[in-house]
Structure 1
């Protein structure tokens, strides 16, 4: 497309110039886009600053006198360099100050935890921090340029000798591109820089000032396409209260609480009230109604609120006036290499200055010691003076490192008489010797530049690294299925005869509570099964016999069914599970013959197998009209199995004789330390095979013991030290320090109160748990403290089983020793044969069904089948 076209209309003699929109777009818009990218939104790779930040730091240095300056004054001074008004400068300065790295702040600078804004610039003050003074400025190696109006000089880039961009992070939206560099840990960046200088590999991950928990599995080195998941740190305060102590990066307590309230209003979670006690540290108390599971609510908070956020990094910087997309590791390498070059330049300037000082000090000594100043007494012209001094110096300057210039001679003439009269040759030589030592030291640093840079980074870590340890915990997250943790916020009804289910059928039979993202499984009397999404009203098919919330991949809910195979056909019995289906597709559980119908049906959430009585119709010479059928004798197969024949004759009715017990093997449960969750998929450490009544034993470092029913939604505290299947007959052995008596005590006890949380050490603030063991016959080695002037007492081996008998959990125990103890180590336990328990023979699920779920991209949830056995004539 042409930009300019000249037209000469015949009816008008005047020439007209038309500029097409395409030309305007290319000229003006691209100029604007380039300006925004280069001068406003994206930081430079050399120093990590955007232009406004660089100008603020330059102004701070110009105003620096060691005292605090009003931010309003700093903003006004910065306006000499930044042509975009005081608001943009003030906001940028507050962001730098809140990162607590380059600026010492005074006054109310806002709160990143609560989202409170800073006070007005006239009320708050700032000055450069000691760290900022050390790493940001070095005027002698800074390149300068004229400011926008040509009145002042400003730095092109500041000589930053630290990976500042990665430490502070950066975010900006330009025209056609954006940048989002996440902040990283101060100490870890220094360690990574040192590893790079040593030629070692390194890996760096973000660290947020708001702390929280982070999954960096897909961080992708901060490049495009990467993702970081961040969660709030939520723990159980008491049985009806959760406490949030750390929040995700990018949120604040106000936005977090708003998201929780919105989720509550939508029925995703159920809470009673929220208290925000945040001050210097985050503390949000979430009070739950009675009967609501704290563990499920924690998962629901992650699934439906801002307690879990996903951050997509996009590392874009400016290099050579062009945007560059680069990973954080390469960014650190370049920053470290740039720091080495800056240190080299500083050393070279320092060496040059020292050599100049040495040169003039040597000249001064020659000039005074040889009394050359007397040679100028009779000279009448300036040229004669210069010539006389030059002539007097020549015999003594062979050892100098460069020729003597006229400028050197002029400096000699400026020496005062008083200084000449008090000149001390020894002190002058000492000064020269000291300069020579300094020169040798600088030359050594230049010759060993990498070692010098490593020492520099080590100095930064030692001087400024205290209190800057990692705040954000790195952990792999488990995936939370929203359908499993959503609160049941609506009610499901069924019209069995007409074949409708839905949430609006309030005049019909109530089935169960459900959520609006649940799937419902339905069975009809003709043997048809369907899974469909919850809706206000859905037609399934007449004569519904069972309705329940569908649990995807569930092989423990077993359906027991007896059906007639078509008109005049035989009757079959089958047991099956339904783990996956295609939504809204009809599945025929019979053989598909016309006239098939279900005689008996039951849904059993834990594989129960009942006994039923079969009654035949009196037809012909049938002798046996009644007998019992035990579903436990039927193998569990997939839903497509035909089943076993019950009878070839017509059945009059089937009655439930005896309720069944579970025929499934105990469920094996593992604990995955990586995500700190239970699972049944074989990940982590096997805890054991659990039946319905089995419990987990949990013991924490603060001396708390409790038993709980294992649920896959459980959360575990970070101070947990024992997690195992609980054996009620197995004692717990503990050695603890009694803070009140200032001695170590030993105790053995059984957990007698199931489900209750109990402390087994004294409540004194200095009391602490030293050793805990769930072995049958534990043994410990006690090492005593060596007293001054005495030989160390030999170690004492203690068999805890012999040392103390089993007592109550609240007993104080027996005193271990009166001697001072250095440490206690647990040894291998003594052998013990645990009595074997005879287990009843359990039935294994025969996994012959493998039906693909074509439309299972939506969440499914679990709900125990609420219908009991259903009888049909």
Structure 2
């Protein structure tokens, strides 16, 4: 070791007896690490902003151009040729080429190139073939504007950057890990990138979002332009095939059907979801069938798949690119702007080169015409030296070159001497002049493009869109995701038990009292006889407090479960009655649901899932002058308050016991439910359209565009993937009116019906393939406007208004209905309905309960309240 320190000039600092020796690392160790880090960042892992390629990809594309003859080449041959440019092994080149080929943009592939959906690898490079696509040939290569450098061994020239005239980096995406940094640029949509480039050239604002070859559904709320700290959530597309089968048709980016199925099996083994078996029928398109056991909710299972499996993943982008030989972290919008500006620069360079070439062609064509037309070639017949020949031609040209754009050089005269006698003899002056005029037109056009460079660049992008945009529409659907609470969708596969006397609760107490089914991520709420409460996580065995009077699975933010309680406040205190909800707590913290005094005792306790308010009988002890030893208390008379409220006094005298007299009914208002069309979910948070106020047995009426009618219980976990033309609170007594096109008879029909089976999907139009729903309404007396088509040689028939209640009576849901008319119809419209006559027979009085107060709202006046029952 001492020898190594000498060789590397390491100088130890002064040694302190109480500290470790600190040494400086200098010399080649310091230089080598910096060189290595720079090499990995610049030459291996991070793409360049100019062309969007890493070095290995750039060298592959240059090799394919070297070998390009329009036919397919063996990939093994291309890999071998690339090794002339790339100083690494053939395996890395082959893998990189497969990545390019699977993106189906730059390379036309032939053979088994693997499958990004299943994760199957490509065949060996000796079995598969490739050639450059037409898009690559048009967009990537332009040797005259390419800057070149020597290859690693100095034997060949390779491009520093390829002149890519397209935001290729954003189209293909990139991923790499270097020394001290990494990059992850997500792929974007071909059409949207071109449209964004055009907007940028027009000085307009634009926004671009990822688009993945595996499709799926994506939430880009936190994309943050691809910068550090951003995130996209991607979900598989899952639909319900029947009541016991789910089908996955699209998967998240960076997953495969194999990894997806493995994650589902793992979640099933852990008891998070319950699956019967899985079939993978994926070929060209994804098709994974997930078969469910009976009595398992498909909607909840879909949410559980998103919560516990790779059916939903998060990807954190990190846009790092090489700019001026340094890594830079920039957003995707800035990458697109830089790429578009670079494309304009390349187009300008190509135009300028083309202009120079055309001007040179015009110059020589003009010289050639003068040389032949003026017979200057005869001036050299008597010249015996080369210098004499040059001088004779130069002297002969001078009287005729005043209109040329530049001076005549020796090289120009030399080219004139190389014209063959046969060409001179067949020279056509008119054709020569036409060629010169054609060149002048091209020169004028090029100059016009240079003067209007932005318009030219826009036309270039529009041409790319027209030529190559077909079939490249967005695959990934952009949608806002609703937050899925794992505790609401997890399968409860464990049984919970409680030892009330000793105060233990858990899943291992199988000899004690059964409480409920639960999962390992649930929380448990427990109430004790001494007026305390605790919420704890499910475990094998947990001590919460002796003399447990109630235990259950805890639901966060649950305002509908109401606890009714009568308790004594301390050893000699009064007895109070209260109703409260528990919506939020700190886990494993003991709370007092009384006043927290020692000697507090609960006489009566009940948990009511829908706010039921029962009647109880209170028995007093016969002490002193107490006359009334028994009376009734109705919890419906009490307001629902916060957990910390003290409550109202039941009695100042000692209570012997409290017994249930009569079960109660819910005292809560009907629950208002909204439908959020953005995330396509029901909610109680006032997002979207209000569907109505729902009691326990109320349902939602749904009718699809395909004519399927059904009713459902309004559960917040229900998924709405179909397009519904009607969604409202269902009134079983309200007729539904439908106008539809009958495919077999090719006529419009009208029918009115009631839903006969609440739990059954019913087809309300005929099953002919051409039958389609036109209008649907639940108005009591709907009015339909008919606009007739004008018949040839006939007067226009005036519009009709039809009262559908009078037109047809309410019939069975399977009835075909009545034909609307035999005339040709242009349009059908629903007009304002007729209001039915209402007779008021008795006055109705509606009593509204007080709204549920927020948690921890204390009853500050309870101490001063008089006793309700003495």
TM range (shorter): over 0.9
The alpha carbon displacement at 1:228 in A equals: 0.8
Tell me, in whole angstroms, the C-alpha distance in 2 between the residues paired with 1:575 and 1:415.
110
Query: How far did residue 198 of structure 1 move?
Result: 0.4
- Contact 2:642/2:857, CA 8 A, preserved across alignment: no
Which residue, 115, 119, 139 being the options, matches 1:135? Answer: 139
CA drift of 1:542 comes to 2.4
- The residue aligned with 1:534 is 538
Please tell me whether the aligned partners of residues 10 and 24 of structure 2 are also in contact (alpha carbons under 8 angstroms): no
Task: Give the counterpart of 1:704 among 693, 703, 708.
Answer: 708
Change (3 A) 1:834 1:551: farther
Instruction: Quote the Cα distance in structure 1 between the aligned partners of 2:797 and 2:57.
Output: 64
Gapped regions of structure 1 (runs ≥ 5): 8-18, 853-873
Cα contact 1:581–1:851 (8 A) shared by 2: no
The 5 A counterparts of 1:176-187 are 176-187=180-191
Secondary structure at the counterpart of residue 157 of structure 1: coil
What is the CA deviation profile of residues 801-824 of structure 1, one whole-angstrom value per residue up to 9, with x for unaligned ones? Answer: 444333222222233344454554
The 3-state SS of whatever aligns with 1:5 is coil
**Alignment match, 1:732:** 736
Matched residue SS, 2:815: coil
Q: CA deviation digits over 1:518-560, x for unaligned, max 9?
A: 1111112222222122121122222211110111221211111
Contact 2:706 2:773 in 1 (8 A): yes
Counterpart selection for 2:105 from 101, 104, 108: 101
Which secondary structure state, in structure 2, belongs to the residue aligned with residue 166 of structure 1?
helix
Structure-2 residue corresponding to 1:335: 339
- CA–CA separation in structure 1 for the residues paired with 2:359 and 2:833: 73
Alignment of 1:201-600 (within 5 A): 201-600=205-604
Cα distance change on mapping 1:841 and 1:160 into 2, 3 Å: same
Is the counterpart of residue 628 in structure 1 residue 632 in structure 2?
yes
Contact 1:555 1:845 in 2 (8 A): no
Q: Structure 2: where are the runs of 5+ without partners? A: 12-22, 859-870
Alignment of 1:607-756 (within 5 A): 607-619=611-623, 622-756=626-760
Cα offsets for 1:592-617 (capped at 9, x unmatched): 44433222211100000111223334
Please say which of residues 708-717 and 822-831 is displaced more in the overlay: 822-831
Describe the shift of the 1:594–1:365 C-alpha distance in structure 2 as closer, same or farther (beyond 3 A).
Answer: closer
2:147 and 2:159 in contact (8 A); partners too = yes
2:181 pairs with 1:153: no
Is contact 1:608-1:660 (8 Å) kept? yes
Deviations 1:450-483 (A, max 9, x none): 0000011111111111111111111111111212
Distance in 2 between the 1:795 and 1:391 partners?
92
2:16 aligned partner: none
Q: Where does residue 194 of structure 2 map in the other structure?
A: 190
Aligned length: 841
Change in 2 beyond 3 A, CA 1:414/1:744: farther
Matched, 1:849 2:855: yes
Residues 170-199 of structure 1, C-alpha deviations (whole Å, 9 max, x = no match): 000111111000001100000100000000
Between stretches 684-693 and 365-374, larger displacement belongs to: 365-374
SS in 2 for 1:775: coil
Aligned to 1:163: 167
What's the CA shift for 1:296?
Answer: 1.3
Q: Distance in 1 between matches of 2:81 and 2:573?
A: 97
Query: Cα gap change, 1:256/1:604 in structure 2, threshold over 3 Å: closer, same or farther?
Result: same
Alpha-carbon shift at residue 752 of structure 1 (Å): 2.2
- Note if contact 1:2-1:20 (Cα within 8 Å) is conserved in structure 2: no
3-state SS of paired residue (2:122): coil
Matches of 2:801 and 2:353, distance apart in 1: 67
Cα distance in 2 for partners of 1:472, 1:443 equals 42
Contact kept in structure 1, 2:173 and 2:187, CA below 8 Å: yes
1:805/1:23 CA distance change after superposition, 3 Å: farther
**Which 10-residue stretch deviates more, 752-761 or 194-203?**
752-761
Higher alpha-carbon deviation: 615-624 or 734-743:
615-624
* Secondary structure class of the residue paired with 2:595: coil
CA distance in 2, matches of 1:135, 1:6: 53
1:123 aligns with 2:127: yes
Which of 462-471 and 368-377 deviates more? 368-377
In the TM superposition, residue 85 of structure 1 has moved relative to its aligned partner by: 1.2
The reply on whether 1:772 has 2:772 as its aligned counterpart is: no
In structure 1, distance between residues paired with 2:717 and 2:845: 28
Give 1:621 deviation, angstroms: 5.4
Pick closer, same or farther for the CA change 1:702–1:663 going to 2, 3 Å.
Answer: same
> Quick one: structure 1 residues 73 and 552, their matched pair in 2 at CA, closer, same or farther if it must change by over 3 Å?
same
Task: Tell which deviates more after alignment, 352-361 or 178-187.
Answer: 352-361
Give the C-alpha shift of residue 235 in structure 1: 1.5
Q: Quote the Cα distance in structure 1 between the aligned partners of 2:806 and 2:47.
A: 70
1:218 deviation in Å? 1.0
After superposing the two structures, state which structure 1 stretch, 261-270 or 579-588, moved more.
579-588
Aligned residue number for residue 866 of structure 1: none
Contact 1:143/1:155 (<8 A) preserved: yes
Cα contact 2:643–2:857 (8 A) shared by 1: no
Give how far 1:67 is off.
1.0
Aligned to 1:111: 115
**Matched ranges for 1:808-847 at <5 A:** 808-831=812-835, 841-847=847-853
- CA gap of 1:135–1:782, structure 2 versus 1, over 3 A, is farther
CA–CA separation in structure 2 for the residues paired with 1:636 and 1:792? 67
Q: How far apart, CA to CA, are the structure 1 residues paired with 2:358 and 2:831?
A: 65
Residues 354, 541 of structure 1: alpha-carbon distance in 2 compared, 3 angstrom cutoff: same
Q: CA deviation at 1:768?
A: 2.5
Using the TM superposition, give the Cα deviation of residue 746 of structure 1 relative to its aligned residue in structure 2, in angstroms. 2.7
| Cα distance in 1 for residues equivalent to 2:299 and 2:339 | 45
Residue among 37, 40, 45 paired with 1:41: 45
Query: What's the CA shift for 1:491?
Result: 0.9
In the other structure, the counterpart of 2:96 is: 92
Cα distance in 2 for residues equivalent to 1:287 and 1:277: 13
Distance (whole Å) between structure 1 residues aligned to residue 817 and residue 383 of structure 2: 104
Report which stretch shifted further, 607-616 or 589-598: 589-598
After TM superposition, the score normalised by the length of structure 2 is 0.93
